[in-house]
């Protein structure tokens, strides 16, 4: 059943990766802003570090996309 639900995710791996990064950033921001969540990763306790982490992941996806 999980494969059937996720079958559309593999259509364009680059888009799927960017969507996952965006979803992670959005849910992290909402969770922290609402007080429902706390970032347990000690390297990502500041908003700047979280934003930098998201940017680095986008850059990594773009770099990987250029590889043969």
pLDDT tens-digit map of 46-67: 888 889 999 999 999 999 999 9
Q: What is the pLDDT of residue 1?
A: 44
What average pLDDT is seen over the chain?
81
Which of 36, 61, 37, 33 shows the shortest CA–CA distance to 53? 61
Which of 68, 29, 51 shows the shortest CA–CA distance to 59? 51
Hey, CA dihedral for 43, 47, 52, 57, is it positive or negative? positive
Global confidence as pTM: 0.72
């Amino acid at each position: 059943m999980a494969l059937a639900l996720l079958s559309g995710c593999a259509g364009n791996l680059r888009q799927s990766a960017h969507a996952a990064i965006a979803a992670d950033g959005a849910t992290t921001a909402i969770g922290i802003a609402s007080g429902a969540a706390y970032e347990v990763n000690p390297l990502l306790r500041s908003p700047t570090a979280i934003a930098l982490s998201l940017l680095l992941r986008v850059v990594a996806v773009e770099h990987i996309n250029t590889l043969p």
